[in-house]
């Protein structure tokens, strides 16, 4: 069928000016579709993917992530209705793995699930290939030999000729000693290399010398060792692995490894002897030379795997060359000489998620299939307030801001009569002096708005939920209120007047008395069912007891946000934190503490000059009062000044209270998370001016609590009853 299509050049993304060439290429393709009278969108899409050529297919050496990124790049200008669906479809059609294609056609998977399956298949294929080709790799420290061993028979019984099964000369052909060996060959009499395998066998290892041919280590052949193992111990072994290790530090002809650069050498203490060793992370054993062994004050005691001592039954003599002592990888790790690399990461998971769900970080979103209603008391008479003049020097900025809001579909022009009209207040943005914020004075309309009584989570609710969490992320919705659309009957009450005419809000706006409760309830409903996800207003926190758990929950949250059509402000988002600031508190794996910025603000507060400043100071300290023991008792002298009829006098008593509050905050206390499953101890106490409590679990403080006593309580309750 494809052969019947007209010739059309494929598009290549590897050449320069890809964006301009893409526009020209798509125009030519559109002309082709018109000429072929193809109007069906499905057929047009099929031809587009066909003419995209090899760019839309996975290369042989191309990973699934690289293929996915390439398809994302190709789909930028395609204006697909659902990018994820089209990219998933093309992965199924153009992937190089038939196993992945069959699995995708057999199961109903999302794009994220398809990518996870593809990565798993890719990893398994890679590991399988490594295992299959393992024998083809050259190992510089291992020598594999061919052995034809009959089952359950010693080697000296495997010769074809019966007369050769017994050594008639009573002489070991390897070491030259008496055979069979009757005693131990001591190390000092016969220096040797001992090869320890995973079994308990010991063998006399030897090698026939070839005087005609000299070979270096890298030219040894298996045939040279075919008859090397003739002296058999009394304990048989099924191991076929023998290892030969070489340590070479000079560039010598015929050697395998040469080290010309400065070598990583250190001095370590072994049995009270200072030994100079070379660190070799590629070695699996430690090696010392004969001189070092003789200098050591203690000799090594040989034990079996059952912790039973035994003597070396036999040893053999080898010739080998060494340039010193060798410290292996495992020992270097135990001595903390080199850092341990426990995980190789090719990139943070949240960065991959941000790339996959990049649409949730662009533009202003709108919650799908949802409109919120502002409940209005019809018994309240609507009010049309007079227009407030706007200063001339900010009118251009006001007009630009109105155009921006209208372009984002946040506000709309009002045509015809309206029962409600409110004025606006123009204020500069604190962090952006060159920009303004338009605020509608909703004080009178709020008298007719009926509030919705939804429960807003508190910090205490979060403390229980965050117990055991170690990894945190915080997400911020972009203009959260403006992502909720108002019903038609709820828009008139938001009408406001400007010097360029009347406007009204199409989205939920600030200033509406019930906006906070409506937004909290709507967003909580949209995120309902997600584990490890909580929100207070437009701030969303994600947490997990491990990195994998956190990443899984973050991916589920991104998917939910994408499905609901919401968008995030990436500049204000924080990912993969071991501690996180959330609503004036610091949450970490250790517990909860006060925000250092709030503590610094309290510490830098000057001595109050009047009653209003005392009230402001008490309000600041009350927010972090959970970290101050006996808070009500300490603040009593300051609270005394705020009582009605008390003359302003700042004495040493107030100064001591003022300084004590600052000092308590400097202790930087960390409260443990409350766990309902643990045993809890409640400690209470009372003073003449207040009562306090202390909640602990496992000897750690969970919370401080206190309350001041009123004058009536002080007069009627005796101190013994308080205690």
pLDDT over threshold 70, residue 8: no
Residue 318, CA distances (Å) to 176, 239, 285 in order: 13, 21, 18
Partners of 587 in the β-ladder: 580, 592
**494 and 421 together in one domain:** yes
With the C-alpha atoms ordered 235, 241, 242, 243, is the resulting torsion angle positive or negative?
A: negative
Which of 134, 154, 186 delimits the end of a domain?
134
Average pLDDT over residues 88-101: 84
Helices 83-94 and 98-106 cross at an angle (nearest 10°) of 130
How many domains does the structure of the chain reveal?
4
**269 and 360 together in one domain:** no
Start-end of H helices in 510-651: 515-526, 547-564, 596-603, 611-623, 631-634, 636-641
Instruction: Tell me which residue of 439, 427, 446 sits closest to 496, measured CA to CA.
Output: 439
**279 and 220 together in one domain:** yes
**16 and 82 together in one domain:** yes
Q: Tell me the per-residue pLDDT of 412-449, one tens digit each, with 9 for 90 and over.
A: 999 888 999 999 999 888 877 778 889 999 999 999 99
Domain assignment of residue 437, given as a range:
349-588
**286 and 400 together in one domain:** no
Q: Work out whether strand 371-372 and strand 485-486 pair parallel, antiparallel, or are unpaired.
A: parallel
- Decide: 315 and 531 in contact? Cβ < 8 Å: no
**357 and 336 together in one domain:** no
Q: What is the CATH number of the domain that holds 540?
A: 3.10.10.10
Task: Give me the long-range contacts of 118-126 (CB less than 8 A, separation at least 24).
Answer: 118/64, 118/91, 119/64, 119/65, 121/97, 122/63, 122/64, 122/97, 125/97
What is the reported pLDDT for 33?
75
**387 and 400 together in one domain:** yes
Q: Tell me the per-residue pLDDT of 169-184, one tens digit each, with 9 for 90 and over.
A: 566 655 556 666 554 4
Which range (222-226, 342-346, 596-600) has the least confidence? 222-226
pLDDT over threshold 60, residue 125: yes
In sequence order, what E strands does 346-447 have?
371-372, 411-413, 424-429, 432-440
**215 and 320 together in one domain:** yes
Partners of 502 in the β-ladder: 497
Which range (115-129, 255-269, 482-496, 519-533) has the least confidence? 255-269
CA angle 447, 448, 454 (to 5 degrees): 90
**151 and 285 together in one domain:** yes
Residue 123, CA distances (Å) to 113, 126, 127, 351, 356 in order: 15, 5, 6, 20, 20
Q: What is the CATH number of the domain that holds 682?
A: 3.30.70.270
**95 and 158 together in one domain:** no
Which of 106, 134, 162 delimits the end of a domain?
134
pLDDT over threshold 90, residue 191: no
DSSP 364-388: ----TT-EE---B-TTSPP-BPPPP
Q: Tell me the per-residue pLDDT of 329-381, one tens digit each, with 9 for 90 and over.
A: 778 777 767 765 544 443 477 888 888 899 999 999 999 999 999 999 999 99
Main-chain phi, psi angles of 491, to 5 degrees: -90, -30
Name the band, by pLDDT with cuts 50, 70 and 90, for residue 208. Answer: very low
Interacting residues of 474 by C-beta distance below 8 A, sequence separation 6+ = 539, 540, 541, 542, 573, 574, 577, 580, 581, 582
Name the band, by pLDDT with cuts 50, 70 and 90, for residue 193. Answer: very low
**327 and 194 together in one domain:** yes
Which of 134, 156, 184 delimits the end of a domain?
134
How far is the C-alpha of 336 from the C-alpha of 330, rounded, in Å? 10
**279 and 364 together in one domain:** no
Between 681 and 316, name the one with better pLDDT: 681
């Amino acid at each position: 069928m494809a052969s019947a299509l007209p010739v059309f050049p494929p598009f290549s993304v590897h050449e320069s000016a890809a964006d301009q060439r893409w526009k020209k290429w798509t125009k030519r393709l559109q002309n082709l579709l018109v000429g072929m009278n193809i109007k069906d969108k499905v057929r047009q899409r099929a031809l587009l993917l066909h003419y995209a050529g090899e760019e839309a297919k996975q290369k042989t050496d191309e990973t699934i992530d690289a293929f996915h990124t390439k398809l994302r790049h190709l789909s930028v200008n395609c204006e697909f209705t659902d990018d994820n669906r089209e990219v998933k479809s093309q992965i199924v059609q153009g992937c190089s793995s038939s196993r992945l294609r069959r699995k995708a056609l057999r199961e109903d998977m999302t794009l994220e699930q398809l990518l996870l399956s593809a990565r798993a298949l890719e990893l398994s294929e890679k590991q399988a290939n490594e295992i299959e080709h393992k024998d083809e790799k050259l190992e510089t420290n291992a020598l594999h030999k061919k052995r034809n061993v009959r089952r359950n028979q010693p080697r000296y019984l495997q010769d074809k000729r019966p007369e050769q099964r017994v050594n008639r000369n009573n002489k070991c052909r390897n070491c030259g000693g008496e055979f069979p060996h009757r005693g131990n060959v001591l190390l000092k009499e016969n220096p040797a290399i001992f090869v320890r395998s995973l079994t308990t066998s010991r063998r006399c290892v030897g090698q026939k010398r070839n005087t005609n041919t000299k070979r270096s280590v890298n030219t040894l052949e298996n045939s040279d060792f075919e008859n090397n193992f003739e002296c058999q111990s009394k304990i048989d072994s099924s191991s076929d692995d023998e290892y030969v290790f070489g340590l070479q530090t000079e560039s010598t002809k015929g050697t395998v490894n040469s080290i010309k650069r400065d070598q990583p050498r250190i001095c370590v203490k072994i049995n009270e002897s200072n030994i100079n060793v070379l660190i070799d992370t590629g070695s699996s054993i430690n090696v010392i030379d004969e001189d070092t062994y003789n200098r050591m004050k203690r000799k090594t005691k040989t034990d079996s795997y059952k912790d039973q001592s035994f003597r070396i039954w036999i040893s053999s003599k080898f010739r080998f060359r060494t340039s010193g002592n060798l410290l292996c990888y495992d020992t270097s790790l135990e001595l903390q000489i080199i850092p341990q690399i426990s995980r190789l990461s090719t990139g943070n998971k949240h960065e991959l998620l941000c790339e996959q769900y990049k649409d949730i970080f662009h533009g202003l979103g709108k919650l799908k299939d949802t409109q919120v209603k502002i409940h209005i008391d019809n018994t309240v008479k609507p009010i049309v307030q007079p227009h407030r003049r706007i200063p001339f020097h900010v009118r251009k900025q006001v007009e630009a801001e109105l155009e921006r809001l209208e372009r984002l579909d946040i506000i709309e022009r009002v045509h015809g009569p309206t029962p409600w009209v409110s004025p606006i207040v123009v204020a500069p943005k604190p962090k952006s002096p060159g920009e303004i914020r338009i605020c509608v004075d909703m004080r009178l309309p709020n008298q007719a708005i009926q509030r919705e009584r939804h429960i807003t989570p508190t910090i205490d609710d979060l403390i229980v939920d965050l117990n055991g969490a170690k990894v945190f992320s915080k997400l911020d919705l972009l203009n959260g209120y403006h992502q909720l659309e108002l019903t038609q009957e709820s828009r008139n009450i938001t009408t406001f007047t400007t010097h360029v005419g009347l406007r009204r809000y199409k989205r939920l706006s600030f200033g509406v008395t019930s906006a906070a409760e409506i937004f909290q309830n709507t967003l909580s409903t949209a995120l309902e069912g997600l584990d490890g996800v909580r929100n207070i207003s437009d701030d969303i926190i994600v947490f997990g007891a491990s990195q994998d758990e956190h990443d899984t929950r973050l991916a589920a949250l991104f998917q939910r946000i994408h499905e609901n059509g919401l968008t995030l402000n990436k500049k204000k988002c924080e990912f993969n934190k071991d501690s996180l600031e959330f609503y004036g508190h610091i949450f970490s794996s250790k517990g909860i503490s006060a925000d250092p910025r709030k503590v610094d603000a309290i510490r830098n507060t000057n001595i109050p000059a009047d009653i209003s400043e005392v009230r402001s100071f008490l309000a600041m300290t009350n927010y972090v009062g959970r970290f101050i023991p006996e808070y009500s008792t300490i603040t009593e002298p300051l609270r005394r000044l705020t009582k009605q009829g008390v003359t302003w006098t700042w004495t040493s008593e107030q100064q001591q209270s003022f300084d004590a509050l600052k000092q308590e905050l400097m202790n930087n206390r960390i409260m443990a998370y409350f766990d309902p499953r643990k045993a809890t101890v409640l400690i209470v106490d009372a003073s003449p001016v207040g009562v306090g409590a202390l909640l602990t679990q496992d000897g750690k403080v969970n919370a401080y609590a206190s309350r001041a006593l009123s004058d009536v309580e002080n007069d009627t309750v005796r101190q013994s009853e308080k205690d």
